[in-house]
Chains A and B, each alone.
Chain A
Amino acid sequence: MNPARAYLRSRRGRPMTWSDRYAMAFGAGLAVVVVGQWAATAVRGLAIGVDAAGLGPVLALAAVSYAGYLAVARALGPVVLPAADAAWLVLSPLPRRSVLGRSAAVLLVLALGGGAALGLAVLSAFGAPDGLILRLAAALVLGAGATVGGMAVAVLAQASHSWDVLLQVVIAGTVLAAVLVAVLGGGAGRQALLAVAGAPAAAAVAAAGPVAAVACALAHRAWTTLDRIPARAILGSSARTGRVASAAVTMDPGALTWAVEDEHWRGRVLGSRPWPRLAGRKALALAWQDWRRIGRRPGRLAVLAGAAVLPAVAAQAAGGMSAMPAGVLLAGTLAAAAMCTTGARRDAADPALARLLAVDRRALAAARALLPALLAAAWSALALAGLAAAGALSGGAWWLLGPATAPACAAASLRMAGRPPVDHSLPVIDTPVGALPAGPLIWAVTGADLALLGCLPALVALTAPASPPGSSLIVQALTAAAVLTAFLLRQGRSGRESAT
């Protein structure tokens, strides 16, 4: 142990008592029992044949999860230190590997745990009609190899730009593979996936060897690279993770998204363009800020467009149109609308610029509703077209429900943008499903409530898609327009209330 850590440990409060050791051992034992029970059930369930219908969606979901794991590792560091260690130990003459060693060990444990879960998930899709132990062992090694290797590449990317480029390629490739599996897994690609599922257990074992070897080599290289990770990378990632931890502790996701947003723009040269001259349209001129921002992040639009396949994937996994794919559709539409409400969020969090620009609140809300409505309409129409193409919806122009729900989702996204931080002083409510803290609950449903209310006719039509959506379409359009109108009227009133 490096001398600084030994000193810090010696000064850290009272030494561990037998009571502490008992509590720790009891907790660990309890965790083993709970996880072991779950794992045993999961393993017993593996001894079945392949589920041909669910194979594509489960594999796509596993691939998306793996891409998300790599993306989070890259975004957070992955090698990070607590704020005090980052401030005092990184900029000291101590060998950097000894300072970062504990973080690396934590990453290895996380990667091994994630790998086991990934391997089990993939094996549950392929099934293990024979050679369960061999297949299980191979799946665990392949999963751990993928996650440990991926984490090692993320550590290397922290120290080197070329590894960072490789990591980004791996993430993009994994997402692309997920989309292909999701789209083709139900049709042309199903035979190929079934052929992989039907491969003998020995083939899986044979594949596990090289994967494990490559993962070990990458992990070794990452370990030796710890000494060369630049201090600025450690300090930057530690600050980011500190903000994430702070947002998690206070349960304030808004703070987290601002940290990510500001991090993206800091240090960029943007290339100023003239502001459009919208004579007499001050609200539209101010709302244009969101149009310009979204235009400067085309990658987000591409990811959003790609995500339009998710409701179809959910419908395939659920075996048809039901509440789950409809919920995914609504959540996705709301997410698409909420993606372009940063101006409203900024002004709600800090109204200093809004006061300086002095635009009427209701007119501004109406102008700011245009872009979320447009994006929600486009995404929802695309997703509904995907559902129709996948065979989950038939007999009519279902995609028209997308534009019909868009005004309600725009109102909901603006309501979300204007909500205050979580109020942790509110009481905990006893409910039939357990105790729920009122503050986070109110925060979570603010905005979603309007979306649910405004999209109710569409949700009813989608969960029982027996007939073409003709009459539902009109009811939905009227409901969504009413929700948006009521929201805008309320905006004007709340503006006057705050003015007095």
Chain B
Amino acid sequence: MSEVIVAARGVEVTLGGVPVLRNAGFTAAAGEIVAVLGENGAGKSTLLRCLAGLHPPLRGRIDVLGGPPVDAAVFWRRVALVGDEPAWYPGLSVQEHLELAGVVHPGGRLTVGAALEVFALDGRADMSPLTLSTGQRQRLSLAMALLRPSRLLLLDEPERGLDTAFRARLAEILTGYADEGGTVVMATHDLTLATATRARLVTLEAAS
């Protein structure tokens, strides 16, 4: 049996007294892709934040890679999170952001050149990320997460801003990551992307 990477049981979260998650839970094994679906406000992003150790649940238990998630460097060396657009380091180009990820995480999955090509950013390598379009910046976020080695990938709406053609390519990239033994948990509204990655679907119901 594959190693369990994520195990969430009976997770309950309230925000400002309003229940956001009620009795949510699932498990994800090594090499598996899990797509968390649900309408707006169902708690998909909140569940991902709980898995990343950024939001403690009111009740329930979460284990990631054999223990509770912690917001510390030792955890983030094994887990990569792509959520809202990050604040880019000023003065660095697209390529230099990728180089930085490669230097800080030696033994990466991709070279910088390959990442630029795979994520269709090679024509924008010398530009500031602020100059890119929304979809290109999302590709850069994904490239930084997928260039480095990790065992778990947490993606919050990875399809945000991406064109249809690149969504198909993203499905291939994520499938390749899972084939190497990595686990992907993604919150998404794109059922086509979830299906293309052969993801196991977990649907959240609105808690209130």
Contact = CB atoms under 8 A, between A and B. Distances in A.
A245 B9 CA distance: 47
A355 B99 contact: no
Interface stretch (A26-34, A151-159, A266-274, A440-448): A266-274
Given A273-B96, A277-B103, A286-B100, A267 B131 contact: yes
B14 interface: no
A297 B91 contact: yes
Given A352-B86, A359-B73, A289 B103 contact: no
Given A297-B91, A346-B87, A361-B73, A265 B130 contact: yes
Given A268-B128, A272-B93, A289 B100 contact: yes
Contact of A356 (B80, B103, B131): B80
Interface string B53-86: 0000000000000000011110111001111101
B16 interface: no
Interface residues of A, number: 44
B72 A270 contact: no
Interface in A255-302: 261-262, 264-278, 282, 285-286, 289, 292-293, 296-297
Question: Which interface residue of A264, A286, A357 has the most chain B CB atoms within 10 A?
Answer: A357
A287 B89 CA distance: 11
B133 to A, nearest CB: 13
Contacts of B87: 346, 349-350, 352-353
Interface residues of B, number: 40
Interface string B84-108: 1011111111111001111111000
A219 B95 CA distance: 47
Contacts of A286: 100, 104
B39 interface: no
B127 interface: yes
A277 B84 CA distance: 30
B115 interface: no
A1 interface: no
Contacts of A262: 90, 130
A79 B4 CA distance: 61
A358 interface: yes
B141 to A, nearest CB: 8
A296 B91 CA distance: 7
A500 B74 CA distance: 12
8 contacts: A262-B130, A272-B94, A352-B81, A357-B76, A358-B73, A495-B73, A498-B71, A499-B71
Given A272-B96, A342-B89, A355-B52, 18 more contacts: A265-B91, A268-B127, A270-B92, A289-B92, A293-B92, A343-B89, A346-B87, A346-B90, A352-B81, A352-B83, A352-B84, A353-B88, A357-B101, A357-B104, A358-B73, A358-B104, A358-B105, A360-B73
